[in-house]
């Protein structure tokens, strides 16, 4: 009898355990479905707010899709891709060899591909056909005449430094667009650049001959991410203040502290890499007015006259919209506006953060300078070719094929 009672108790326990498992499973599924619904549902209630009443923008944010800055002509006036188009673009992009493609081993082009595809991020195709939403054609406005002249002068100078290289000899349309091959190194090799250099040129006579990114300096504002690791933001709020930490590229991290007390911008004589930011709230949008950029910065040709109006708006529990209107009357005929959709990242999974790895003067750039001096010595001693015949500036491996264009 006691044995039969024990069996009955055991059966009851087993039945109860099974019931608990089924209930737990149902609860887990329900919680997962609710979490998914919260992530995808539009924000129909009041925006999330801080304890002091401001819209809450805090968290770690990134863009989880790839979208070109400008819309390709083949998309015409189409602002958004269809789901079928996104799927097809994803398939085309995944089939590309990109930087894993090899050419003749040992050539300059082969060595230029030292960064293989492992170093390049590829995310799903975004919903928009371009980041630019205004003008409606998704393209940058035309340059004003003076900006066209400056861009042409800069292009001619860089092509002159490349004229004696295999890049121009082979007629590569990516590395030497519009350039002509001449086996004699250009006399312009000793000239200063038309303006402060921000990109790579085929010369390393001094640190300023290197690009800003190679020197681990600013990637600038507005920041739209890079192929090398994407782009992350950490936003922290306090009453009357917001700080934004950027982790971009290969570790070019930097921080912005937004002044929000109504003070005017800094005097025009004070210029900074990331400009001078003044913020305020307009309803649920955090608006930042940015001026006072350094003439050493370069945003598609815009420098010290660059003016930005940024708007950060929380659109859902895990979504944040960023729009920026870019203005420089010395460069473009009218302002233009771009939009990005950020997704909140896990605080737990990103709880350990290492300081930025890329700093001006780290071992990478001095090594580039050393390599250039070794080439100079080898040529002077008759042990190597003229440095001007070697292309150390262009990096066009894997960029010829782009389904976005």
The pLDDT tens digits of the residues spanning 196-250 come to: 999 989 999 998 998 888 888 877 899 988 766 678 899 999 999 999 999 887 7
Alpha carbon separation from 102 to 92, 106, 115, 164, 367 (Å, rounded): 19, 10, 12, 23, 25
Residue 291 has, within 13 A of its CA and on its CB side, a CA count of 10
Higher pLDDT, 98 or 325: 325
Q: Are 60 and 233 in contact (CB under 8 A)?
A: yes
Percent of the chain surpassing pLDDT 90: 59
Rounded Cα distance between 214 and 236, Å, is: 29
φ and ψ at residue 98, rounded to 5 degrees: 50, -130
Q: Label residue 99 by pLDDT band (50, 70, 90).
A: low
| For residue 195, pLDDT beyond 90 | yes
Rounded Cα distance between 247 and 279, Å, is: 21
Higher pLDDT, 332 or 227: 332
Rounded Cα distance between 65 and 319, Å, is: 13
Least confident of 266-270, 301-305, 392-396: 392-396
Q: What integer best gives the mean pLDDT of the chain?
A: 84
> What's the pLDDT score for residue 332?
98
Least confident of 247-256, 372-381, 391-400: 391-400
Domain boundaries, the chain: 1-41
Rounded Cα distance between 316 and 40, Å, is: 8
Question: Residue 341 is encoded by which pair of tokens?
Answer: 């959709």
φ and ψ at residue 336, rounded to 5 degrees: -140, 155
| For residue 192, pLDDT beyond 80 | yes
| For residue 140, pLDDT beyond 90 | yes
Q: How open is the CA angle 135-313-290, to the nearest 5 degrees?
A: 65
Q: Are 258 and 279 in contact (CB under 8 A)?
A: yes
Please state whether the predicted TM-score (pTM) of the whole model is above 0.85: no
Q: How open is the CA angle 285-289-294, to the nearest 5 degrees?
A: 145
- Could you report the per-residue pLDDT of 355-389, keeping only the tens digit for each? 777 777 777 788 888 999 999 999 999 999 999 99
> What's the pLDDT score for residue 96?
76
Higher pLDDT, 402 or 234: 234
Q: How open is the CA angle 123-217-204, to the nearest 5 degrees?
A: 105
Alpha carbon separation from 98 to 119, 130, 213, 401 (Å, rounded): 11, 21, 21, 8
CB contact set of 348 (below 8 Å; sequence gap of 6+): none
CB contact set of 42 (below 8 Å; sequence gap of 6+): 315, 316
Q: Tokens 């979208």 label which residue?
A: 67
> What's the pLDDT score for residue 105?
73
Among 153, 103, 87, 139, CA closest to 400: 103
Rounded Cα distance between 387 and 108, Å, is: 13
Q: Tell me how far the alpha carbon of residue 128 is from its chain's centroid.
A: 16
Rounded Cα distance between 201 and 361, Å, is: 18
Higher pLDDT, 166 or 383: 383
Q: Label residue 32 by pLDDT band (50, 70, 90).
A: very low
């Amino acid at each position: 009898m006691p044995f039969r009672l024990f069996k009955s108790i055991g059966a009851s326990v087993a039945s109860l355990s099974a019931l608990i498992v089924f209930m737990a499973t149902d609860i887990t599924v329900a919680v997962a479905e609710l979490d998914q619904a919260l992530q995808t549902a539009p924000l129909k209630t009041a925006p999330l707010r801080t304890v002091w009443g401001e819209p809450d923008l805090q968290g770690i944010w990134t863009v989880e899709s790839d979208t070109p800055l400008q819309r390709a002509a083949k998309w015409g006036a189409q602002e958004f891709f269809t789901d079928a188009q996104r799927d097809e673009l994803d398939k085309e992009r995944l089939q590309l060899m990109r930087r894993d493609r090899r050419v003749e081993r040992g050539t300059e082009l082969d060595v230029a591909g030292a960064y293989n595809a492992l170093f390049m991020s590829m995310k799903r195709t975004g919903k928009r056909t371009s980041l630019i939403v205004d003008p409606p054609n998704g393209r940058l406005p035309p340059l004003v005449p003076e900006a066209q002249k400056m861009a042409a002068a800069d292009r001619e100078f860089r092509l002159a430094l490349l004229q004696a290289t295999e890049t121009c000899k082979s007629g590569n349309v990516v590395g030497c667009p519009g350039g002509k091959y001449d086996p004699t190194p250009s006399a312009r090799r000793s000239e200063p650049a038309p303006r402060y250099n921000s990109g790579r040129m085929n010369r390393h006579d001094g640190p300023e001959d290197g690009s800003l990114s190679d020197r681990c300096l600013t990637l600038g504002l507005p920041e739209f991410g890079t192929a090398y690791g994407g782009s992350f933001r950490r936003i922290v709020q306090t009453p009357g203040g917001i700080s934004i930490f950027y982790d971009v590229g290969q570790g070019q991290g930097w921080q912005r502290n937004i002044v929000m007390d109504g003070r005017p911008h800094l005097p025009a004589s004070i210029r900074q890499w990331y400009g001078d930011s003044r913020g305020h709230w307009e309803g649920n949008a955090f608006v930042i007015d940015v001026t006072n950029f350094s003439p050493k910065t370069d945003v598609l040709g815009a420098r010290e006259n660059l003016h930005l109006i940024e708007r950060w708006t929380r659109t859902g529990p895990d979504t944040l919209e960023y729009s920026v209107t870019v203005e420089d009357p010395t460069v473009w005929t009218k302002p233009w506006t771009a939009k990005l959709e950020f997704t909140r990242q896990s605080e737990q999974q990103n709880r350990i953060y290492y300081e930025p790895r890329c700093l001006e003067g780290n071992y990478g750039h001095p090594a580039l300078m050393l390599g250039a001096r070794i080439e100079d010595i080898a040529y002077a001693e008759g042990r190597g070719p003229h440095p001007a015949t070697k292309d150390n500036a262009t990096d066009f491996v894997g960029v010829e094929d782009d389904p976005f264009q």
